[in-house]
Structure 1
């Protein structure tokens, strides 16, 4: 099976994806726990296999027998990663959006679609979600080089559009939620313009952050929690709870005109 996609730039750093990994361990916990085969794919792990190694360790706390397969289109990267392999728990193979014929319960595709044209995103999403195991999830997004700021979409098996958008940051370094605009998923980054839901979302969150400025004396965590409370009070479909907000996260229904209704908490993983 010929891999579908292009070779990524390959930039990676230890702990770069710790925020999304922590979120996957929460959101996908039920999907992993109930899977007959707890297979997870790290798509486009990059020039070194460290993110796949870390993903296996973090998800192993949820499902000790989890299996992680790192997929890369570049055969040189696949060969270099074999030194880190620990089968059956951690393996590496050549593959792209077709997932090398695997049927994982979770796919993490991070900093992959960022290099593509926006027009290529829907087909990539559909290909990946079409190869998920029943009840599985595709987590697709981007983050900065150190993992301090990021966002991601979550798509259930068989879906062509996301169910949710998550924004996450290291709060001690967050100057303004407006900076999320630089790290939105590819499907949204060019839609951060007046008239688009994501533009209104970031504007509302930024205003809430400014209104919460007096709480900064108690620390950025308290300020962020107050800002998310204000965001929710303004009518935005916030799907998680304060326990997640304290981690510097917020998960909402996908901000697109095609999405109607609220994704209920019962749909999670």
Structure 2
């Protein structure tokens, strides 16, 4: 079967390395299901796009399973710019799961606008100056109540940082980790998304946040005797006085913390 491409259509974007592993995006998926589940259930067309899923379709398959725990009507469309990867994914298609050839133009069927676009480990190869344009293009494709989640994680999903955006633009930044793998919160700096990774320098808000997080982590060291989770919860809780956190203990227990975008947005 030929790749499903609109006639005279050239996908927008560049081919990624395609690295993928089962369960790599589990932290992001679980956060999406929790934060966006109600909006998906309320959507008349709860279609999600796994943009740039890579050389194997595992992340798209897993996204469908996790979204359907909160929205049984959810559908997932895996979109890849490399035609051979689309063909390799075809045997995994089933009810609610399809694969299409495309890029940042997000080629869904006429009239459909995604309730969710997930773009994980896609923008790392781009220049920082290109990020705002890509975000704007993807946000323009969203349904009115849609969500774009763009970020980066390590190869097995232990450390992950992502930005959540609505049609109006960026809203929040989430830091998520397997707590047993963490020495200090600033270890997550290497997984900052492209919009922030070069801003982890003195004078930039994201650098100040990670500095304060490390200090809070050090102050919470006595709680390590209870567990790494209790130390994380204590450290995150102490950040609330100076940083606009938007989640609470239920998400902190998962090794997460979410901050308003405007608090961490690059200067200049």
TM-score using structure 1 length:
0.93
Whole-angstrom distance in 1 between the partners of 2:23 and 2:183: 21
Deviation track 1:200-236 (CA, whole Å, cap 9, x = no partner) reads 0000001100110111000000000000011112x10
- Aligned twin of 2:61: 53
- Aligned twin of 2:139: 129
Which of the numbers 177, 185, 190 marks the counterpart of 2:198? 190
| Superposition deviation, residue 257 in structure 1 | 5.8
Structure 1 residue 12 corresponds to structure 2 residue 11: no
Structure 1 residue 119 corresponds to structure 2 residue 129: yes
Please give the residue correspondences for 1:169-188 in structure 2 after superposition, counting only pairs within 5 Å.
169-188=177-196
Paired residues of 2:48 and 2:117 also in contact (CA < 8 A): yes
SS in 2 for 1:91: strand
Which of the numbers 234, 242, 245 marks the counterpart of 1:238? 245
Deviation track 1:157-189 (CA, whole Å, cap 9, x = no partner) reads 2x24x1100000000111111111100010000
Which of the numbers 25, 36, 42 marks the counterpart of 2:50? 42
SS in 2 for 1:251: strand
Whole-angstrom distance in 1 between the partners of 2:10 and 2:135: 18
Whole-angstrom distance in 1 between the partners of 2:147 and 2:254: 22
Whole-angstrom distance in 2 between the partners of 1:224 and 1:64: 33
Paired residues of 2:245 and 2:260 also in contact (CA < 8 A): yes
Across the aligned residues of Structure 1 and Structure 2, the Cα RMSD in angstroms comes to 1.0
- Aligned twin of 2:224: 216
Structure 1 residue 256 corresponds to structure 2 residue 265: yes
| Superposition deviation, residue 2 in structure 1 | 1.9
| Superposition deviation, residue 3 in structure 1 | 1.1
Structure 1 residue 143 corresponds to structure 2 residue 153: yes
Whole-angstrom distance in 1 between the partners of 2:101 and 2:259: 34
- Aligned twin of 2:162: 152
| Superposition deviation, residue 78 in structure 1 | 0.2
SS in 2 for 1:168: strand
Which of the numbers 225, 247, 251 marks the counterpart of 2:233? 225
Gaps of 5+ in 2: 1-8
| Superposition deviation, residue 106 in structure 1 | 0.3
> After TM superposition, where is structure 1 displaced by more than 3 Å over at least 4 residues in a row?
none
Deviation track 1:221-255 (CA, whole Å, cap 9, x = no partner) reads 0000000011112x100000100000000001011
Please give the residue correspondences for 1:62-81 in structure 2 after superposition, counting only pairs within 5 Å.
62-81=70-89
Whole-angstrom distance in 2 between the partners of 1:90 and 1:171: 32
Whole-angstrom distance in 2 between the partners of 1:231 and 1:204: 7
Deviation track 1:133-162 (CA, whole Å, cap 9, x = no partner) reads 1110000000000100010000002x24x1
